[in-house]
Structure 1
Amino acid sequence: MATDKIVSIADLQAAASKILPSSTREFFNSGATDQVTVHENSAAYRKYRILPRVLKDVSNVNTTIPLFGRDIAFPLCVSPAGLQGMAHPDGELATSRACAKYGINMGVSSYANHSVEQITTAGNEVAPIHHVMQLYSMKDREKEKRIIRRAEAAGCKAIFLTADSPVLGVRYNEVRKTFQPPAGLAYPMMEKTSEQIQQQSHDDGFKSFNDDSHSWAREIPWLRSLTKMEIWIKGILTPEDVETAIEYGCDGVIISNHGGRQLDETPATLDVLPACAKVARGRIRIHIDGGIRSGNDIFKALALGAECCWVGRPMLWGLAVS
């Protein structure tokens, strides 16, 4: 498929899937175990229908929303997604530049192939842009502190604490083929060289740093003691956890199931959004990711209670065909 014929995200996925090596394609596109959740995330949007009102003046519609201290062009941001260097050599640098060009915010993954300093600089050279730093609970608290301090010094506005990953999701294709990032890609935020990465499996590498003893009582006060950045919780699927985030004074939550890559057979994020938004009652900001593939999808998510949508895979596919 020629890139000039790409008119939808489905076209983009198809074009990228033809270009990417099989191991990279499967890493980006696949989910955990039987991939029920990764498919239902998108399918959930097809259950809802839009009932338009007519003869309304839309000539001055304003799609901007305030987020992290500035207005963004419309309620869409790019999720933190690791290993973007597998899709394009510029990886996160190109993503940052694109987000700046179109006036939206970007999440930076702890598994980024470029440093947060390089990523924020790349975007700001195009236009003012705000970034957030995705973070895991780590066994090495000093390294975690360094990531936080580097992110804040680089201008990041928030920490997105990934809460749904006490262990790495079981992804059959990664196990069958012993997934390993290509040689030459490093994790500068994790302070790991390519050579160090190649010495472990992806799963063992995650186990070596991730702390499965994480908890609300341990993580949130500790983060508050270290940074003035906003603290958001990524990976919430229940009203009860929204309430807990409010109790701990978090600034926002992302309704997320990790793109179906963690625990399979969890519900689609859109299906749990209304209940989560209802319990929030305006006390905390509610964002969503997972399966968003069109403007109609964004409209449905906003109608059901989200303030903003975040996308990951479409950005990766875009990198691959650029």
Structure 2
Amino acid sequence: MSLAYPATTDDWQRLAQRRLPRFYADYIDGGAGAERTLAANVQAFAALRLRQRVLVDVAQVSTRARLAGEDCALPLALAPVGLAGMAAARGEVQAARAAQAAGVPFTLSTVGICPLGEVASAVQAPFWFQLYMLRERGAVQALLQDAWASGCRTLVFTVDLPVTGLRWRDVRHGLADGGARAALIKAWQVLARPGWVRRVALGGKPLTFGNLAAQVPGARDLNAFRAWVDAQFDPSVTWQDIAWLRQQWKGRLLLKGILTAEDAQAAVDAGADGVVVSNHGGRQLDSAPATASVLPAIAQAVGSRTELLVDGGIRSGVDVFKALALGAHGVLIGRPWVWALAAGGEAGVARLLAHWQRELRTTMMLTGVRRTADINASHLERFS
């Protein structure tokens, strides 16, 4: 099959794999353990069936929605992805521009390549910022101040990372342990992708965690930054720390990594403005439930009192519709936009988002829905 004109997310993934060094492609594609949760995320959405309706006036259909107080062209935001700037030269900047043009929010990861200031100078629309609770609370405060000064008003705070999940693909490439053998493996894989070397490794320098340059001033490479980040993950964080964070951040606060109704309720009690139902894309706890399977219960528990977003396994505009039918107000997507970025840069991300909007609109028309706010469980066959 020709991929000259990629249409689906799978197309973008195949193109990305051809362009990226193997260790980085596996870093993006892979999950924890045997990757059961990674597969379950996709399968859970694929298993849902829609109720097609006919002879409904769908001449005027709108995919617009409101997320975190912002008007969006569709109920979708680009999720934070660490090291996304290695997919294309200054990759986060390219993705942010594509998101702005498409009318959806972009979320910059703390461990992205491009720093806050660089992204802010490249776009006019406000973007979101993602953060972890680091051991050095001064570093957290400094990052919050930088985010606010850069125009960010929505903070996506990741709560499911007291320790990094066991990702065997990274271990096989030596990313977890380092050393001379790992360096040779990566060097060989890099040399096998001379186009990536030219476009990204050389054309996209510097490849460092831009947001952490002030925190790790002596580090000159990604391995040094990664070692500092891994040491900063704090397993002692509790809900009391979220209360402290709520005092520090005066913008909107979304807690990402919620998988139970109890934790969703605790997030609301702690002052969060919204929760992201997420298992970290299957990258943390293998055999954790698929997000689509727990979303309805969480929506029933807190969906009427807080903003509810979901990620994990969403691969099309059809899946966006299904997520809304399960009770979400919107979705975050990670791997799909990075694949499109790697395969086609800013234009690739723009094309992906245009296709997803077209899919969502078509799905709405064939199910007899005119507004995204009207999508609900009655549009799923399993709830009929």
TM-score of the pair, normalised by structure 2: 0.78
Percent of aligned positions that are identical: 37
Secondary structure in 1 aligned to 2:128?
strand
Deviations 1:265-300 (A, max 9, x none): 101101100000000141111100011111111111
CA root-mean-square deviation: 1.8
Aligned 8 A contact 2:90 2:113 in 1:
no
Distance 2:301 2:28 in 1: 33
Deviations 1:194-226 (A, max 9, x none): 6253347x4x443321211111112x2212222
**For the structure 1 residues 176 and 205, does the alpha-carbon distance in structure 2 shift closer, same or farther, using more than 3 Å as the test?**
farther
Aligned 8 A contact 1:236 1:255 in 2:
yes
Note the 1:237-316 alignment, pairs <5 A.
237-316=259-338
**For the structure 1 residues 172 and 205, does the alpha-carbon distance in structure 2 shift closer, same or farther, using more than 3 Å as the test?**
farther
In the alignment, does 2:163 pair up with 1:167?
yes
Distance 1:90 1:3 in 2: 24
Secondary structure in 1 aligned to 2:138?
helix
Secondary structure in 2 aligned to 1:282?
coil
**For the structure 1 residues 168 and 53, does the alpha-carbon distance in structure 2 shift closer, same or farther, using more than 3 Å as the test?**
same
In the alignment, does 2:204 pair up with 1:208?
no
Deviation at 1:4, TM superposition (A): 2.7
Q: Which has the larger radius of gyration?
A: 2
Deviation at 1:230, TM superposition (A): 1.0
Aligned 8 A contact 1:68 1:157 in 2:
no
Secondary structure in 1 aligned to 2:156?
strand
- Alignment match, 2:105: 105
Secondary structure in 2 aligned to 1:189?
helix
- Alignment match, 1:130: 126
Distance 1:246 1:104 in 2: 25
Secondary structure in 2 aligned to 1:66?
strand
Distance 1:189 1:90 in 2: 13
Aligned 8 A contact 2:130 2:158 in 1:
yes
Question: After the TM superposition, which of the residue ranges 153-162 and 299-308 deviates more from structure 2?
Answer: 153-162
Question: After the TM superposition, which of the residue ranges 310-319 and 178-187 deviates more from structure 2?
Answer: 178-187
Amino acid at match of 1:213: S
- Alignment match, 1:152: 148
Note the 1:31-110 alignment, pairs <5 A.
31-110=31-110
Secondary structure in 2 aligned to 1:5?
coil
Aligned 8 A contact 1:197 1:205 in 2:
no
Deviation at 1:160, TM superposition (A): 1.1
Distance 2:267 2:164 in 1: 23
- Alignment match, 1:18: 18
In the alignment, does 2:191 pair up with 1:195?
no
Distance 1:221 1:248 in 2: 6
TM-score of the pair, normalised by structure 1: 0.93
In the alignment, does 2:136 pair up with 1:140?
yes
Secondary structure in 2 aligned to 1:195?
coil
Aligned 8 A contact 1:98 1:123 in 2:
no
In the alignment, does 2:172 pair up with 1:176?
yes
Q: Name structure 1 gaps, 5 residues minimum.
A: none
2:254 to 210, 222, 232: 232
- The structure carrying a bigger helix percent of its residues is 2
Question: After the TM superposition, which of the residue ranges 112-121 and 99-108 deviates more from structure 2?
Answer: 112-121
Distance 1:236 1:76 in 2: 18
Deviations 1:231-283 (A, max 9, x none): 11100000011111111121000000000111111011011000000001411
Secondary structure in 1 aligned to 2:211?
coil
RCO (CA 8 Å, sep 6+): is it higher in 1 or 2? 2
